[in-house]
Amino acid sequence: MRIPKFTLFTRLYLSILFVVCLTVLLTLYVVESLYRDGDFSLFVYEANYLHQQVSQAVHEGSQKDLDMLAYPLTLDFSFKVLSGDERYFPCQNCNYIKAIKGVDYYELEEGELMAVFISPSSDASLAIYQKLDEERTPEEHKFMSKFESQFELGVGVYPFLVVMAMVLIGITIMLVVRNLQDQIRSLIGYQRRFGDGELQVRADENMQKPLDELAHSFNLMATDVENLVRERDIFAQAIPHEVRTPLSRIQLATGLIQQRTEQPELKQLTADIDRYVDDVNELVNQVVEFSKLNASVDGGDETPPLSITLTPWLQTRLREMAMPEQRHIELQQSQKLMLSCSSVYLRLVFDNLIKNAVNHAASKVSVDTRCLGKRCVLVVEDDGSGIPEADRDTVFLPYARLDQSRNRRTGGLGLGLAIAKAAAARMDASIEVQESSLGGAKFVVSWPATRFALALSG
């Protein structure tokens, strides 16, 4: 059985509820214990007082004094003289409490208290106890019921007040914790928006300590990162322009040389220079594209999504890319799907994956599209040497190089897969590398199936 994981604040709320409930129970227990101790202490005092009065009246032989004691004795207490074994076993089904100064105290079956005063000078003992219900007259029952109802009403207020006080304390603590939770959630929201590319977002610093310091630190960090990203973007956009100018001059110079020379070696050299310049131009274009893909989403250059029927779109792209004849590209049609996305980003993903597969395939490249559960995928795989599992994350890093079978001689410039991954992220997609059944690498581009939900076609 899997144990559910609770968030920090859920555990905190449950802890507060547990502490409040435990505090209420302990308070009620303590109040009940104090009430019982107070009731017993009062009985001890009253029983000793009545014993003194009865002993004095008996000693003086004054019937008048005994008559004066009749009212309190007959209203709340009863007494009886014990002799023989009754001195040591004054009652049945009662609990012995304790002895205080030679007086034994018991709790009767109905909860009443009894004190037994043993006389050292005679064989008789005096038992004073709270009057039992069956000993009361109808008038006494009526009077005591009214008195006890008023007393119990007053006593019952205290637990209610305790419970209310604990509930109010718990609500106050929970409100404070809830406010703290809301502020932490807002910080998490700012962080997620910043991580999604909204570099201009800033946290509200009007928070309780120490969250205000955390928000301030986040804002300082966000400002520094935004400045660095802007500097990087400016640099990435400026460098290609500065590089293309001398490259154009080089191409112009090599063209003039080819027109004016008849030497084969010199013509071959200038042709090689032209190819090198083309490689540099392609690299510059990829640097610019990669920079745009990794720029802030605040740039306003997002292309609108289109509904693209994948199979004919992929066929068109393959024809326009002019694949080499020695590579056989098989376009499967497991499912005919329509995808709602940016055609620019889809082109960058597909073109770079196809170029990578063609560069490293021995003879065959396979392309397929299908839906698997909650995800729909575009699969590009080849029959080349494959990618070791330890390097399957490394291949998406800019200018990453693996073994000699995947180097510049195979046609790659080191940015193709990095551009494909960045473009996929712009479409809310992900790319992972797996082992292909053809023996090479298998690149799986995965989108949420909701992007295909309105565009499934038979």
Q: Is residue 421's pLDDT more than 80?
A: yes
What are the b/e assignments for 372-388, b being 16+ CB within 10 Å?
A: eeebbbbbbbbbbbbbe
Where does 211-298 sit in CATH, by number? 1.10.287.130
Q: Where are the alpha helices (DSSP H) in 196-309?
A: 211-260, 264-293
Least confident of 20-34, 256-270, 274-288, 384-398: 274-288
- Of residues 88 and 172, the one with the higher pLDDT is 172
Segment 180-187 mean pLDDT? 86
Is-contact 160 31, C-beta < 8 A?
A: no
pLDDT at 458: 42
pLDDT in tens, 199-239: 888 988 888 888 888 889 999 998 998 888 788 777 777 77
Question: And the tokens for 412?
Answer: 């790659």
Question: What is the rounded average pLDDT of the residues 136-160?
Answer: 64
Sheet architecture: strand order including 103-107: 77-83, 124-130, 113-118, 103-107, 95-100
Q: Can you give the pLDDT at residue 402?
A: 64
Average pLDDT value over all residues in the chain: 77
Average pLDDT over residues 106-135: 80
Closest CA to 380 of 452, 310, 320: 310
pLDDT value of position 456: 46
Confidence of residue 76 (pLDDT cuts 50, 70, 90): confident
pLDDT score for 334: 64
pLDDT value at position 1?
Answer: 46
Q: Is the pLDDT of residue 293 over 80?
A: no
417, 396, 424, 393: which is closest to 286 by C-alpha? 417
Quick one: pLDDT band at residue 69, thresholds 50, 70, 90? low
Q: What integer pLDDT is reported at residue 220 of this predicted model?
A: 92
The residue assigned the tokens 């009985």 is: 43
* Dihedral of alpha carbons 330, 332, 338, 342, sign: negative
Predicted pLDDT of residue 454: 42
Which residue reads 């004094």 in tokens? 65
How is residue 32 written in tokens?
Answer: 């009940």
Assess contact for 346 and 414: CB atoms under 8 A.
Answer: no
The arithmetic mean of pLDDT across residues 89-101, rounded, is 84
pLDDT digits (tens, 9 = 90+) for 158-182: 667 777 877 787 788 778 788 888 8
Q: How confident is the model over 240-283, as pLDDT tens digits?
A: 767 777 878 887 888 888 777 788 888 788 887 887 777 777 77
How far from the centroid of its chain's Cα atoms is residue 56's Cα? 77
Cα–Cα distances (Å) from 373 to 308, 449, 450, in that order, read 21, 8, 11
Q: Which among 350, 328, 361 has a CA at the least distance from the CA of 444?
A: 350
**Consecutive H or E run containing 261:** none
Q: Is the pTM of this model over 0.85?
A: no
Q: How far apart are alpha carbons 203 and 168 in whole angstroms?
A: 32
User: At residue 297, does pLDDT exceed 70?
Assistant: no
Does the pLDDT of residue 95 top 70, yes or no?
yes
Residue 228 pLDDT? 84
CATH code that applies to domain 302-451:
3.30.565.10
Residue where the block lists tokens 């499934």: 456
The pLDDT value recorded for residue 141 is: 63
User: What pLDDT shows up at residue 412?
Assistant: 60
Could you give the C-alpha distances from 433 to 53, 82, 398, in angstroms and in order? 101, 98, 16
CA distance 155 to 165: 16
- Judge whether residue 407 has pLDDT over 50: no
Average pLDDT over residues 367-376: 82
- pLDDT score of 45: 87
State the pLDDT confidence band at 453, using cuts at 50, 70 and 90: very low
Is the Cβ–Cβ distance between 227 and 219 less than 8 Å?
no
Q: Using alpha carbons only, what angle is made at residue 404 by residues 403 and 409, rounded to the nearest 5 degrees?
A: 135
